Amino acid sequence: MSNSKFQLTGENTNLARVAQMILGPCTNVLRDVLRKEISPSDLEKKVRAYISMKKKSLINKHQEALVYGHDYSKFDVTLLYFLLRNMCSIQPHSNKWGKNPRAGDGSVSANIERIRLLRNEYGHNSETSISDTDFIKNYQYIKDTVQELEMYLGTSTKYQDEVKELETCPMDPTQSEKNIKELLDLHEKFKDISEDVKEMKNTVLPWNIKVIYGNDVLKWKEDDRSFVETHNFHAMINKVRQQSFVMFVGVPGSGKTASVRHTALLLQEKDGYEILPTKDIKDIETYCDPRNPQVFVIDDVLGVFGFDMKELEKLTMYKDRLNKPTMPETKVLMTCREVVFKHEALSGSFLSNEKHVVQLHSKENALNDQDKYDLFAKYYLDTDLLSTDTMSKISKSFPYLCKLFSRKEELRHYGPQFFISPVPCYMELLDNMKIRNKVHYASLVLLMTNQNSLSEKDFNNESSKHFDEMKFKVLKRCKVDPVTCRFLFTDALTEMVGTYTEQRQSKFKFIHDSMLEIVAYHFGRHSPELILQYMDSDYIANYIKPDKYKCRKRKGEEEEDNLEQTVNAKEDSNTVAENKNVHDLCIKLQESQYHLLADRLFKDIHKGELFNVFENEALKHPLVLQNFLDVMKCKPYSELFTVFLSELKEEHIKQAKTSKKHFFSSKSYNLLMNSRWIGEDDFPYTCARAIDWVIFYGHNQILQFIIDQIIKHTETVNDLFQTPFNIRSDDCCTSVDNTDCIKRNESDINENSARRCDVSDDDSWSDLCSETDVMDKYFGTEDVIVEQRRLLNLSCYSGDLLTFQTLLPYYDKNVLFSESWRVPELLHDDDNDDWNIFDPPMVVAREEFVTTRYRCRYRMFLG
Asked if residue 85 lies in contact with residue 199, where contact means CB atoms within 8 angstroms, the answer is no
- Is the pLDDT score of 50 beyond 80? no
Asked if residue 274 lies in contact with residue 53, where contact means CB atoms within 8 angstroms, the answer is yes
| Same domain flag for 431 and 415 | no
The CA distances from residue 231 to 238, 367, 836, in Å, are 13, 8, 57
| Same domain flag for 405 and 426 | no
Q: What is the pLDDT of residues 677-696, one digit of tens each?
A: 555 444 556 778 999 999 99
The full DSSP string for 473-542 is: HHHHHTT--TT--HHHHHHHHHHTBTTTEEEETTEEEESSHHHHHHHHHHHHTT-HHHHHHHS-HHHHHH
| Same domain flag for 340 and 386 | no
| Same domain flag for 434 and 415 | no
- Residue-level length of the chain: 863
Does 599 reside within a domain? Answer: no
Asked if residue 266 lies in contact with residue 237, where contact means CB atoms within 8 angstroms, the answer is yes
Q: What is the pLDDT of residues 373-432, one digit of tens each?
A: 999 888 888 888 888 888 888 888 889 888 888 877 777 778 888 888 788 888 888 998
The CA distances from residue 504 to 272, 303, 497, 508, in Å, are 26, 21, 10, 6
Backbone angles phi, psi at 124, to 5 degrees: -105, 10
The full DSSP string for 756-811 is: -B-S-STT-HHHHTTSSHHHHHHTT-S-HHHHHHHHHHHHHHHT-HHHHHHHGGGS
Which of 140, 173, 196 is at the close of a domain?
196
198 or 651: which leads in pLDDT: 651
Distance, CA of 215 to CA of 226 (rounded, Å): 19
Asked if residue 88 lies in contact with residue 38, where contact means CB atoms within 8 angstroms, the answer is yes
Q: What is the pLDDT of residues 817-829, one digit of tens each?
A: 554 344 333 333 4
pLDDT on residue 840: 47
pLDDT on residue 403: 86
The DSSP element (H or E) to which 110 belongs, if any, is helix 108-123
Beta-strand runs (E) in 582-674? 587-589
Distance, CA of 687 to CA of 671 (rounded, Å): 10
| Same domain flag for 508 and 646 | no
Q: What is the pLDDT of residues 456-510, one digit of tens each?
A: 888 887 678 899 999 999 999 999 998 888 888 998 898 888 778 888 778 999 9
| Same domain flag for 415 and 429 | no
Asked if residue 659 lies in contact with residue 611, where contact means CB atoms within 8 angstroms, the answer is yes
Distance, CA of 402 to CA of 381 (rounded, Å): 8
Residues 6+ apart with CB under 8 A from 3: 174, 177
Does 213 reside within a domain? Answer: yes
Strand partners for 826: 676
Q: Is 574 exposed, middle or buried (0-12, 13-18, 19+ CB in 10 A)?
A: exposed
The number of helix segments (H) and strand segments (E) in the chain equals 47, 12
The DSSP element (H or E) to which 246 belongs, if any, is strand 245-250
Strands 274-276 and 454-455: unpaired
Q: How confident is the model at residue 180 (pLDDT cuts 50, 70, 90)?
A: low
What is the distance in angstroms between the CA of the first residue and the CA of the last residue of the chain?
A: 114
Does 201 reside within a domain? Answer: no
Positive/negative CA dihedral, 486, 487, 490, 492: negative
Which of 170, 196, 222 is at the close of a domain?
196
DSSP state of 675: E
The DSSP element (H or E) to which 548 belongs, if any, is none
Asked if residue 100 lies in contact with residue 93, where contact means CB atoms within 8 angstroms, the answer is no
Would you put residue 368 in left (φ > 0), alpha (ψ -120 to 50) or beta?
beta
The CATH number that applies at residue 323 is: 3.40.50.300
Q: Is 443 exposed, middle or buried (0-12, 13-18, 19+ CB in 10 A)?
A: buried
Distance, CA of 588 to CA of 53 (rounded, Å): 47
| Same domain flag for 377 and 356 | no
Q: How many CB atoms lie within 10 A of CB 23?
A: 19
- Is the pLDDT score of 578 beyond 90? no
| Same domain flag for 406 and 512 | no
> Mean pLDDT across the stretch 293-321?
87
Amino acid 164 reads K
- Is the pLDDT score of 558 beyond 50? no
- Is the pLDDT score of 742 beyond 50? no
Does 601 reside within a domain? Answer: no
| Same domain flag for 832 and 813 | yes
Strands 501-504 and 357-359: unpaired
Q: What is the pLDDT of residues 599-642, one digit of tens each?
A: 999 999 988 888 889 988 899 899 999 999 999 999 999 999 99
Task: Select from 192, 176, 169 the least CA-distant residue to 76.
Answer: 192
Any idea what the Cα angle at residue 340 is, between residues 336 and 343, rounded to 5°? 135
pLDDT on residue 456: 87
Strand partners for 49: none
pLDDT on residue 526: 93
Coil, helix or strand at residue 159: helix
Q: Choose the weakest-confidence range: 124-133, 158-167, 348-357, 653-662.
A: 653-662
Q: What share of the chain is helix, strand, coil (3-state, %, to 5)?
A: 60, 5, 35
Coil, helix or strand at residue 249: strand
pLDDT on residue 597: 96
The CA distances from residue 685 to 100, 227, 652, 662, 788, in Å, are 60, 51, 14, 20, 19
Would you put residue 349 in left (φ > 0), alpha (ψ -120 to 50) or beta?
beta
pLDDT on residue 580: 38
| Same domain flag for 161 and 286 | no
Q: Choose the weakest-confidence range: 175-184, 294-303, 472-481, 716-725.
A: 175-184
Q: Choose the weakest-confidence range: 12-16, 137-141, 517-521, 656-660.
A: 656-660
Does 603 reside within a domain? Answer: no
Q: Mind spelling out the 3-state secondary structure of 49-98?
A: HHHHHHCCCCCCHHHHHHHHHCCHHHCCHHHHHHHHHHCCCCCCCCCCCC
46 or 773: which leads in pLDDT: 46
Alpha-carbon Rg for the chain, nearest whole angstrom, is: 35
Asked if residue 132 lies in contact with residue 11, where contact means CB atoms within 8 angstroms, the answer is yes
- The most confident of the ranges 6-20, 411-425, 521-535, 800-814 is 521-535
Distance, CA of 507 to CA of 502 (rounded, Å): 9
Which of 196, 222, 237 is at the close of a domain?
196
Q: Is 338 exposed, middle or buried (0-12, 13-18, 19+ CB in 10 A)?
A: buried
Sheet-wide strand order for 245-250: 274-276, 294-298, 331-337, 245-250, 357-359
Task: Select from 324, 307, 316, 326 the least CA-distant residue to 351.
Answer: 316
pLDDT on residue 253: 85
- Is the pLDDT score of 563 beyond 80? no
Does 615 reside within a domain? Answer: no
Does 378 reside within a domain? Answer: yes
pLDDT on residue 63: 79
CB hemisphere CA count around 23 (13 angstroms): 20
Helix pair angle (10-21, 158-168), 10° resolution: 170
Q: How confident is the model at residue 814 (pLDDT cuts 50, 70, 90)?
A: low
- Is the pLDDT score of 9 beyond 60? no
Does 622 reside within a domain? Answer: no
- Is the pLDDT score of 654 beyond 70? no
Q: What is the pLDDT of residues 82-93, one digit of tens each?
A: 899 888 888 889
Residues 6+ apart with CB under 8 A from 655: 310, 608, 609, 610, 611
Q: Choose the weakest-confidence range: 25-39, 243-257, 785-799.
A: 785-799
Task: Select from 477, 476, 478, 471 the least CA-distant residue to 450.
Answer: 471
> Mean pLDDT across the stretch 810-819?
60
Q: What is the pLDDT of residues 67-121, one digit of tens each?
A: 878 788 888 888 899 899 888 888 889 888 888 888 888 899 999 999 988 887 7
| Same domain flag for 723 and 852 | yes
Distance, CA of 610 to CA of 511 (rounded, Å): 31
In percent, how much of the chain has pLDDT > 90?
Answer: 28
- To the nearest whole number, what is the mean pLDDT of the chain? 76
| Same domain flag for 307 and 171 | no
Beta-strand runs (E) in 606-730? 675-678, 683-686
pLDDT on residue 590: 92
> Mean pLDDT across the stretch 520-543?
93
Asked if residue 215 lies in contact with residue 45, where contact means CB atoms within 8 angstroms, the answer is yes
Parent domain of 129: 10-196
- Is the pLDDT score of 831 beyond 50? no
Q: How confident is the model at residue 837 (pLDDT cuts 50, 70, 90)?
A: very low
Backbone angles phi, psi at 462, to 5 degrees: -70, -20
359 or 496: which leads in pLDDT: 359
Backbone angles phi, psi at 274, to 5 degrees: -95, 130
Number of domains in the chain: 5
The full DSSP string for 213-229 is: HHHHHHHHHHHGGG---
Q: Is 349 exposed, middle or buried (0-12, 13-18, 19+ CB in 10 A)?
A: middle
The full DSSP string for 626-641 is: HHHHHHHHTS-HHHHI
pLDDT on residue 849: 35
pLDDT on residue 816: 54
